[in-house]
Amino acid sequence: MLSRGHKENHPATVQNYFYAIIALSVLLYLLGGLGVLVVYSNNAISFAREQIPFYIELKDSASEAEIFKLEQQLGKSAYVKTGTVRFISKEEAKKKLIDKDLTEEDIMIFGENLLPNSIEFHLKSDYIGQYKKIVSELKTNQIIADVSHTEEVVRSFSTNLQRIGFITVIFVLFFIFVAITLIRNTLKLSMLANRHTIKILQIAGAANDYIQKPYINRSLINGLICGIMATFALIISIFVIQSQIEELKYFSSLTSFIAIYAGLITFGVLIFWGSAYFSLKKLFSMPTEEWN
């Protein structure tokens, strides 16, 4: 609706704005859904990455005091997940192998248990990409014989996370392009429908800022409506999905979801306002007769 005497009530214009609001709301909803999917994926990947065990094989010459000191150092280090440092004695390692269908004869050599004492720990998700450096540093310790881990699993998690980030960026850019194109075309149709009124206002001496103000105000309101509609639909979708797949609750993040909701509303307002502002600026740089 245009303020101070000029109205934007042409049926085609109203219909175009309605379609633009619905379309942008759907795009924002899809964008929000993509964000939620990334949150679930990242949290699930972080959880899985932190389940990868690393084993420090200790030398037989290591004393109890040295082993205890190493455990304390690992427990306080920034890269080790809290509560995952655990000492595994030779006897405990032998029992585990026997439980895996091996016999004591398979393990004992000349009646002696040659399995090493070891320390198990798990890396924090953020440090998985630095595991080679961490392993190299640990091997410099005099009481450590070796550090074993499943390298292929670690590498695959790092690769998958990079792929998710790359795909996310592509989808975001695509949604932004579609939304901007749609809004700009809708605004141009609106301006064309009202160009005779605008021409009369210009002849009457009205400043361009005065003529553009109702369109700018409407774009802000429309953007806010789109953001709220998309957010409301996304909240309902998350509630329904989590009620059907309860495991997803463990990988959800209220803080991340709130950030997504706020981002959708903000993005809706900015994209509608930005599209309107730059389209109007371009149109009003030309005579109304050339708007076609």
- Which of 99, 118, 149 is at the close of a domain? 149
Residues 141 and 201 in one domain: no
Helix (H) or strand (E) holding 146: strand 144-148
The answer to whether the CB of 86 falls within 8 A of the CB of 120 is yes
pLDDT in tens, 89-107: 888 876 776 566 655 555 5
Q: Are 216 and 275 in contact (CB under 8 A)?
A: no
The pLDDT score that the predictor gives to residue 258 is: 94
Segment 41-90, tens digit of pLDDT: 788 878 878 888 899 999 988 899 999 999 999 999 999 998 899 998 88
H/E stretch holding 84 reads none
Q: Which two tokens stand for residue 194?
A: 């009202």
Residue 164 included in any domain:
yes
Are both 213 and 101 inside the same structural domain?
A: no
Has residue 8 got a pLDDT over 70? no
Q: Name the helix (H) or strand (E) containing 287.
A: none
How much is the pLDDT for 2?
44
Q: What is the pTM of this model?
A: 0.67
Residue at 182 is within a domain: yes
The answer to whether residues 193 and 142 belong to one domain is no
147 touches 55 (CB < 8 A): yes
Residue-wise pLDDT tens digits, 169-222: 787 778 778 777 777 777 777 667 667 777 777 777 878 788 778 888 888 898
Domain boundary among 114, 149, 184: 149
Q: Are strands 144-148 and 112-113 parallel, antiparallel or unpaired?
A: unpaired
**Alpha-carbon distances, residue 229 vs 18, 57, 135, 236, 265 (angstroms):** 13, 57, 50, 11, 9
Answer yes or no: is 203 within a domain. yes
Section 24-50 average pLDDT: 84
101 and 232 in a single domain? The answer is: no
* Domain count of the fold of the chain: 2
Q: Give the CATH number for residue 82.
A: 3.30.70.3040
Q: 121 with 42, same domain?
A: no
Range of the domain at 111: 53-149
Question: Both 269 and 185 in a single domain?
Answer: yes
Residue range 279-286: average pLDDT?
Answer: 75
pLDDT of the residue at 265: 94
Q: 149, 166, 201 — which closes off a domain?
A: 149
Task: For residue 290, name the pLDDT band (cuts at 50, 70, 90).
Answer: low
CA neighbours within 13 Å on the CB side: how many for 41?
A: 16
